Chain A
Amino acid sequence: MEQHDQAPDAGETEPLGSFASYTVGLIFALLLTGASFLVSQTHLLWAPGVPAGLAVLAIAQMGVHLVFFLHISTGPDNTNNVLALVFGLLIVTLVVSGSLWIMAHLNANMMPPSALMEMRR
């Protein structure tokens, strides 16, 4: 069983990043997390802009994790990983934004309970 594993793997160079890349990733992640807490707890940002600021910081941190920890890159061995990621992001966006959109409309178009009672009579 191990035989066919051996052949293509032989002499493979390490595609896994380095101590330096993990450490840089950790520092970026710490800075972005600190910034998120700072933005949410202080009046550094204009109050109505805080959710947008937090979203930007979170997306930036997810990008840092993907590149420095999960090693998603633009290298030739990585094309399939990137394509799968893009498809995953499409589905996630559809699920989240679609749910929010539909539920907000349902909520707005909902009949008030008193009117519902009237209809039942």
Chain B
Amino acid sequence: MTSGSAGGPAPVRIVVAYGFWIFLLSDIIMFSALFATYAVLSGQTAGGPSGRELFQLRHVGVETLCLLFSSYTCGLAILAIERRRMREFYVSCALTFVLGASFLGLEISEFVGMIARGAGPSRSAFLSSFFSLVGLHGIHVSAGLLWLTFMVAQTATKGARDFVRRRLLCFSLFWHALDIIWVALLTLVYLMGAR
């Protein structure tokens, strides 16, 4: 088969990826509402601490690297499963999981530190919107880690069958989309907020 546009139905894989892409775009639209909320409220600190006092860019830089490299290893896992290199697939998935979990651990430690300083989500409108936006991204990453665990278990039990590989493709799209949202988050919240 040369191309899906030559007439006749497109391959299932293309259709599945398209459907999942539409879901991802709707997810990004939901995030855009929270981004707008944050942009409106980022100055409303109600006398509490501002982003400049709270954000530690070194910490955020490590988080960014974790997420970026986990996106890369996730891509390598997809390449490996397409070529049936199972050992490479499992190693890439394990790296993706470890890097994603490190990101999540760093984010949780940042949140715990802020709440311990009295800068929890109830302190000011700025902090409410900060915790909603960054927390929602963190929840997405947690869901992604859970999904990755399920997919590795499914690959181990059912093998690299067509439907398993399609689900893995959807997972990789999800994981890369989370990285795109993180780029926007890093720029708007942390880099602009810490200046």
Contact = CB atoms under 8 A, between A and B. Distances in A.
Contacts of B161: 2
B22 A54 contact: no
A95 B26 CA distance: 13
Interface residues of B, number: 57
Contacts of B116: none
Contacts of A18: 79
Interface residues of A, number: 55
B183 A92 contact: no
Interface stretch (B10-18, B101-109, B139-147, B149-157): B10-18
A43 B51 CA distance: 20
A13 B3 CA distance: 9
Nearest to B10: A77
Interface string A57-96: 1100110011001100000110111001101100110011
Interface string A2-32: 1001101111111111110011011001100
B76 A19 contact: yes
A26 B176 contact: no
B184 A62 contact: yes
A50 B176 contact: no
B86 to A, nearest CB: 17
B61 interface: yes
B33 to A, nearest CB: 6
B9 A100 contact: no
Interface in A31-56: 33, 36-37, 40-41, 50-51, 54-55
A99 B78 contact: no
Given A58-B186, A92-B28, A95-B29, 15 more contacts: A5-B162, A8-B1, A8-B12, A16-B78, A17-B79, A26-B72, A33-B68, A36-B186, A36-B187, A54-B187, A58-B184, A65-B180, A77-B5, A88-B26, A92-B32
